[in-house]
Amino acid sequence: MGIVVQNIDRVDLGLVDRLGGFGVATVHEAQGRKGLLAPFMRPIYDGARIAGNAVTVSIPPADNWMIHVAIEQCREGDILVVAPTSDSHAGYFGDLLATSLMSRGVRGLVIEGGVRDIADLKAMGFPVWSKYIHAQGTVKETLGSVNVPIVCAGAHIEPGDVIVADDDGVCVVRASEAETVAQKSADREANEAQKRSRFEAGELGLDVYDMRERLKEKGLKYL
């Protein structure tokens, strides 16, 4: 505790943006069904889809001091990812902090805790994925750390990992795997486009995926 790592490796924003374009479900599948944060992480408003480099914050319960420290470490294209050291629904974050982050080009916030000023954040277009919405004020008394590995909503996140977030939730992509995952996501998307037209035309998944034989072997009975 009490450490701020200042220089972290980030993924090139071109690559980050490619990942963002695919969205959470595709990226999650493309990287072998890993990296999802828990489903209690919900967007405060619908329709946002972002990707960015993770600046991580390990923070005490009900104390938002380290968010101020973390902002200085943020730059264009980052997403702030905050995990309390124990569950807390305090309102760690509101429109003033969002103003500060937006002035630095930060794209959004992912926090396993509470946020407030929801209406303002929506009006400003600053997207947040959080566990709670709660106005409860926090203190500024205890240190945490910035840009250390954290567990946020059940997912292990390293500083500089790519975060993808949309209406389906939040997914983390290891920086080292970002290029491969983007490639596989593109393949998956192409493949899905093809499937989609067949489904639109009324073909069944049973035939498109050639499932009938295997279902029969397993013993499926039609009455």
Smallest separation, CB 164 to a second copy (Å): 10
Angle between helices 13-22 and 178-200 (to 10 degrees): 30
Member of 79, 171, 173, 178 binding a second copy (CB under 8 A) = 171
Least Cα distance to 81 among 102, 112, 104 occurs for 112
Residue 174 is a binding residue for a second copy (CB under 8 A): no
Q: Tell me the C-alpha distance between 179 and 193, whole Å.
A: 21
Q: Read off the tokens for 34.
A: 């890993």
Residue 3 is a binding residue for a second copy (CB under 8 A): yes
Name residues contacting a second copy, limited to 39-98 (CB under 8 A).
Answer: 39, 42, 45-47, 49, 60-63, 65, 68-69, 71-72, 85-91, 94-97
Q: Tell me the C-alpha distance between 14 and 179, whole Å.
A: 10
Smallest separation, CB 61 to a second copy (Å): 4
Residue 2 is a binding residue for a second copy (CB under 8 A): yes
CB-based contact 81:52 (threshold 8 Å) = no
Site string for a second copy, 128-167 (x = CB under 8 A): ----xxxxxx-xxxxx-----x-x--xxx---------xx
